Amino acid sequence: MDLTPAEAAAVIERHDCSRCQAPAGSPCRTRSGKTAARYHTARFTVVPALREELSVTVPEDRNPGRPWQPGPVPAGPARPAGEVTPIRIGYARCSTAGQELGSQVTALEAAGCKRIFSEKISTRIKIRPELEAALQLARDIKQAAPGQDVIVTVHEIKRLARNAAELMTLTAALQADGIQLELLTGPLTGSTTRTGSGPCCSPSWPSPPSWTVTTSGRKPSKASAPPRPKATTAAAPRSSTRT
């Protein structure tokens, strides 16, 4: 991080908070009306030096945990957003307690994930708390900074969905929110980047309606055409000439 805690707080507070509605110059606040212990992620993602931190503590001189008080109006314009750097949020999962998550977490860290959610739960369970938390964080960041690239990264498809149909459903929902999905390994390695260039240099996936799912290596056989009916011609009537 390029800034000290005091400098980070000063820069964050130059922006309004879209989550708790704290005005510029003030720390974030909780629903109960007290000063928050941490700034809301939706607020500091507009700061280039803090965009990948995903957690910034409110300084003690703002009295976190006490009744919220508005701070002074900041002098000067807000710090410009600058060049956008993608934020990667990782998700790791295994089905049983006997399986390990370390290899997935290591791969996600190597891919540049600054925040990783992990859990041991079956994909047959529709509601997976850590997955929901990862997706919600991605949506919060995207809502606060629409120009920010947000990528949800998973090691492979089976950590996220049981089949390609479930993956397409999730991908379509994330694309509707402007969030990218990235798989590090497996047959669908790549990300949902629309251009295939930039920070995500992996192959681009087409939009869900155009995906093709095959279950074997055999090519579908061409349907045999029905036999063409034999052409029949009626015999021309014989003409007789009487003399």
* Strand locations in the chain (E): 87-94, 113-120, 150-154, 180-183, 190-191
* Strand locations in 86-219 (E): 87-94, 113-120, 150-154, 180-183, 190-191
Do residues 221 and 231 touch, judged by C-beta distance below 8 A? no
- Whether 95 is a known active-site residue: answer yes
Do residues 23 and 13 touch, judged by C-beta distance below 8 A? no
Q: Which residues contact residue 145 at a Cβ distance below 8 angstroms, ignoring those fewer than 6 apart?
A: 42, 45, 46, 51, 81
Q: Give the span between the Cα atoms of 148 and 146, in whole angstroms.
A: 5
Q: Give the span between the Cα atoms of 147 and 161, in whole angstroms.
A: 28
Q: Which residues contact residue 41 at a Cβ distance below 8 angstroms, ignoring those fewer than 6 apart?
A: 54, 55, 137, 140, 141, 144
Considering 95, 197, 202, 221, which one is annotated as catalytic? 95
Give residue 238's identity as a one-letter amino acid code.
Answer: R
Q: Which residues are catalytic?
A: 95
